[in-house]
Amino acid sequence: MSVLDTLIQGILLGGLYTLFAAGLALVFGIMRLVNLAHGDLIVMAAFLILYLVTGLGLNPFVAALIAMPVMFGIGWALQYFVLNRTLGPDILPPLLVTFGLSIVIQNGLLQGFSADSRRIPIGPLESASINLGPIAVGVMPLLTFASAVLVIVALNVIFYRTSLGRAFRATSDDKVTAGLMGIRPDNIFAIATGLALVVATIAALYLGARANFDPTIGPARLIYAFEAVIIGGLGSFWGTLVGGIIIGVAQTFGASINPEWQILAGHVAFLIVLLFRPRGLFPRAVD
């Protein structure tokens, strides 16, 4: 039974990694921008939620709802005023700028919130669990996974069923021609990054409620997110979910063998997938 237990815990953990990765996949899919500050932006959102919960006494879920539009605005402005200027045929400028941004955010958070390890208090939910047959499953991990699936479904609906999504795809296809069709690529890119940070806020809620965080943990979360996106095949949302689950399952199985192997096992799984499917599990047909 412990194998089944480990598998389920792994899949649920994969939900968290999917949430880390979905925003990254969205931004990369639309504008080929690799945002090295994504992990730090998640941590920033977690501090924002923490501030709303401890400072104003709000329920963490309500706090996350309030943080979402704030993070959308930050993402929109970041893309519109900073990152749009870095986009072009050369891939280096966005990498350098987001790397710098990552350092700025980390140090800004250190300045504002100190290096202490924090946690978003969620009351009794923290330890609540429900019994599924012989296995007890935590309510928070279940909520995390359900949110991840919802986010992936929502992103797919937006991407393939709405006017905004068609504009996303058209701009991703050909920015110049999109401009001639009355689309403002700068604005479309800014909306995409805003949306990515809304997803990052959801990720931040579960990150901060399930484990301790401090201003420096962003880059490590970014690596899991990257691995999930790459395993999934860059830019495919369902692929990102599968990628997140693979990393999560590998980590829990690694940990069940030896706690020191948790992180290593995730990275090894990533390398194995790359070895056999260098373009990921669900690569784009044309690129």
What is the Cα–Cα distance from 96 to 168, expressed in whole angstroms?
24
Structure tokens at 35: 């945002």
Q: Does 179 bind another protein (CB under 8 A)?
A: yes
Cβ closest to another protein, residue 138 vs residue 179: 179
User: Closest separation between CB of residue 236 and another protein, Å?
Assistant: 12
Minimum CB distance to another protein, residue 188 (Å): 9
Q: Which helix (DSSP H) or strand (DSSP E) does residue 136 occupy?
A: strand 135-138
- 170 binding another protein? (CB under 8 A): yes
Q: Which is nearer to another protein, 79 or 147 (CB)?
A: 79
Q: Do the beta carbons of residue 247 and residue 7 sit within 8 Å?
A: no
- Cα–Cα distance, 170 to 147 (Å, whole number): 28
Radius of gyration of the chain (CA): 19
Q: Which stretch, 50-58, 103-111, 115-123, 169-177, contacts another protein (CB under 8 A)? A: 169-177
Among 172, 201, 251, 252, binds another protein (CB under 8 A): 172
By CB under 8 A, name the one of 81, 173, 211, 220 that touches another protein. 173
Q: Tokens in use for 66?
A: 């309030």
Beta carbons within 10 angstroms of residue 267's beta carbon: 16
Crossing angle of the two packed helices 262-276 and 218-232, in degrees rounded to 10: 30
Nearer to another protein, 184 or 279 (CB): 184
Pairing between strand 135-138 and 129-132?
Answer: antiparallel
Residue 87 in the binding site for another protein (CB under 8 A):
no
* CB-nearer residue toward another protein: 19 or 30: 30
Instruction: Kindly list the distances between the CA atom of residue 28 and the CA atoms of 31, 64, 112, 231, 280, in Å, as whole numbers in the listed order.
Output: 6, 24, 30, 14, 15
Distance (Å, whole) CA 83 – CA 89: 14
Q: How many residues bind another protein (CB under 8 A)?
A: 18
Rounded to the nearest whole angstrom, what is the least distance from the CB of residue 82 to another protein in the complex? 20
Interface with another protein, residue 176, by CB under 8 A: yes
What whole-number distance in Å separates Cα of residue 24 and Cα of residue 34? Answer: 7
Nearer to another protein, 86 or 187 (CB): 187
Q: What is the spatial distance between Cα 128 and Cα 265, in angstroms, rounded to a whole number?
A: 28
157 contributes a contact to another protein by CB under 8 A: no
From the list 180, 259, 271, 275, which residue makes contact with another protein (rule: CB under 8 A)? 180
Q: Smallest distance from the beta carbon of 163 to another protein, in angstroms? A: 5
Q: Which two tokens stand for residue 172?
A: 């991703």
CB closer to another protein, 185 vs 254: 185
Taking the complex as a whole, the smallest distance from the CB of residue 171 to another protein amounts, in Å, to: 9
- Residues at the contact surface with another protein, assessed by CB under 8 A: 163, 166-167, 169-170, 172-174, 176-184, 286
